Amino acid sequence: MKYDFDQVIDRSANRAAKYDERIKKFGTNDVIPLWVADMDFKTAQPIIDALKSKAEEGIWGYTSRPDSYFDAICSWQQRRNGWQIDKSLVSWSLGVVPALSAIVKVFTNPDDKVMIQTPVYSEFYDVTEAWGRVVVENQLVEQGGRWTIDFADFERKAKEVKVFLLCSPHNPLGIVWTKEQLKKMADICIANNVLLVSDEIHSDLIFHGKKHIPTATVSKEIAGKVISCISGTKTFNLAGLQASTTVFPDLETKERFDRFWTNMDIHRNNAFSSVAMEAAFNEGEEWLEQLLIYLDGNFEYVRSFCEKRIPQIKVNVPDATYLMWLDCRGLNMDNETLRTFMIEKAGLGLNEGYTFGRSLSGYMRLNAACPRSILEQAMKQLKEAVDANT
Ligand SMILES: Cc1ncc(COP(=O)(O)O)c(C=O)c1O
């Protein structure tokens, strides 16, 4: 089946946080929402069909998780990433962020330190600080437009932290970490008794011939130490269904995590999420392959538009995710001025760069997962605003 990603879908009655929460986030509805990480595309037809059929059942009582659900997850990982997951070490959770939060709570104590690589998905700060733990930043360093790891700093800080939250692939920089980088980070964590947690939610959204390597596949020793968080919600645009998978290094670690959720009486999927995930992992590949080509076209559109027409803004084309990191330092604005400029002058609802790395100034994140015509309008508005400002 051929999917039409150019189709503009009216989400005004879709209860879409991306649209409905614009007033809360930006103070106005009058912005093109290119912020929170979901897509303005319909998902794969087999998922829609499976959910329709579930809806037709008319009974959505307490819902079990059949083996076929876990089989679908494991066979997807095996097929696409060569990762053979031991099913006995797999647990379910409401989402990757709830899983990360539970991990921080269960495996650390108040005032313990948690390392993150900034700029990074801002909830990494939140899940740490919410429990009274302390964020330690291993800041990624930019060299000629490419970002990389300061390993000397990483090694120094690994000596003082209990947990390292790795974002692989990386949001917002779209980096696909190499096997060597993963091994080096994991080895340092193991040597310093740091619990390694690998958030791989974006691992199906990979471009430019890169290959995602699940951290747990780097070596047997690392598999015995890492907690991996995976999900189909980013891949297939199912975030509102709230489900994710956590893979543990051993049974004892898994049981401690499971006990946390059982104590909260949260131990079942909602009736629709496992059905959607199963259909996605078993039958979603055709849609995904077409999506990746479309997204890559979107990246190229934004990159070349800015290069030719808004040279003050330098665009990072991601190798993973659908999120583009915009270096707006050429506009010479402080963070607050840049935020106001994007909302009030350009009419764009973007994420502020400083929420991903608190010491950063002059960056924004743009979600490119929308029909090209929306991006065209967004770029036009941005150019006009920049021109009017100079
Ligand atoms: C790195 C990363 N982890 C987790 C999430 C959200 O996960 P969930 O919706 O499963 O809680 C996002 C969403 O943007 C993300 O970018």
> What number does the ligand 1 atom closest to the CA of 36 have?
14
Average pLDDT, the chain: 97
Query: What does the pLDDT read at residue 144?
Result: 84
Which residue has its alpha carbon closest to ligand 1 atom 14? 37
Residue pLDDT, tens place only, 328-381:
999 999 999 999 999 999 999 999 999 999 999 999 999 999 999 999 999 999
Helical H runs in the chain?
Answer: 17-20, 22-26, 45-57, 67-81, 96-107, 123-129, 151-158, 179-191, 220-223, 251-263, 273-283, 285-309, 335-340, 372-389
Tokens of 160: 């003082």
Q: How confident is the model at residue 187 (pLDDT cuts 50, 70, 90)?
A: very high
How many A from CA of 193 to the centre of ligand 1? 26
Residue pLDDT, tens place only, 234-275:
999 999 999 999 999 999 999 999 999 999 999 888 999 999
Mean pLDDT value of segment 308-313: 98
Mean pLDDT value of segment 112-137: 98
CA atoms within 13 A on the CB side of 191: 12
Phi, psi at 140, each rounded to 5°: -70, 150
Query: What does the pLDDT read at residue 136?
Result: 98
How many A from CA of 239 to the centre of ligand 1? 9
Check if 166 has its Cβ closer than 6 Å to any atom of ligand 1.
Answer: no
* Substitution candidate for ligand 1 out of 171, 237, 325 with most atoms within 8 A of CB: 171
Residue pLDDT, tens place only, 88-106:
999 999 999 999 999 999 9
Check if 31 has its Cβ closer than 6 Å to any atom of ligand 1.
Answer: no
Query: Which domains, ranges and CATH numbers included, belong to the chain?
Result: 17-44+285-389 (3.90.1150.10), 61-282 (3.40.640.10)
Query: What does the pLDDT read at residue 156?
Result: 98
- What's the CA gap between 241 and 260, in Å, rounded? 21
Torsion, Cα of 288, 317, 372, 47 (10° steps): 20
**Pick from 223, 118, 103: nearest CA to 170:** 118
Mean pLDDT value of segment 12-33: 97
pLDDT at 17 over 90: yes
pLDDT at 148 over 90: yes
Query: What does the pLDDT read at residue 299?
Result: 98
Query: What does the pLDDT read at residue 145?
Result: 83
> What number does the ligand 1 atom closest to the CA of 167 have?
1
- What's the CA gap between 265 and 281, in Å, rounded? 27
In the chain, the percentage of residues whose pLDDT exceeds 70 is 100
Check if 118 has its Cβ closer than 6 Å to any atom of ligand 1.
Answer: no
Q: How confident is the model at residue 281 (pLDDT cuts 50, 70, 90)?
A: very high
Query: What does the pLDDT read at residue 210?
Result: 98
Check if 120 has its Cβ closer than 6 Å to any atom of ligand 1.
Answer: no
Check if 199 has its Cβ closer than 6 Å to any atom of ligand 1.
Answer: yes
Check if 96 has its Cβ closer than 6 Å to any atom of ligand 1.
Answer: yes
- What's the CA gap between 39 and 35, in Å, rounded? 10
* 3-state SS, one letter per residue, for 251-267: HHHHHHHHHHHHHCCCC
The per-residue DSSP string of 198-240 comes to: EE-TTTT-B-TT-----GGGS-HHHHTTEEEEE-STTTTT-GG
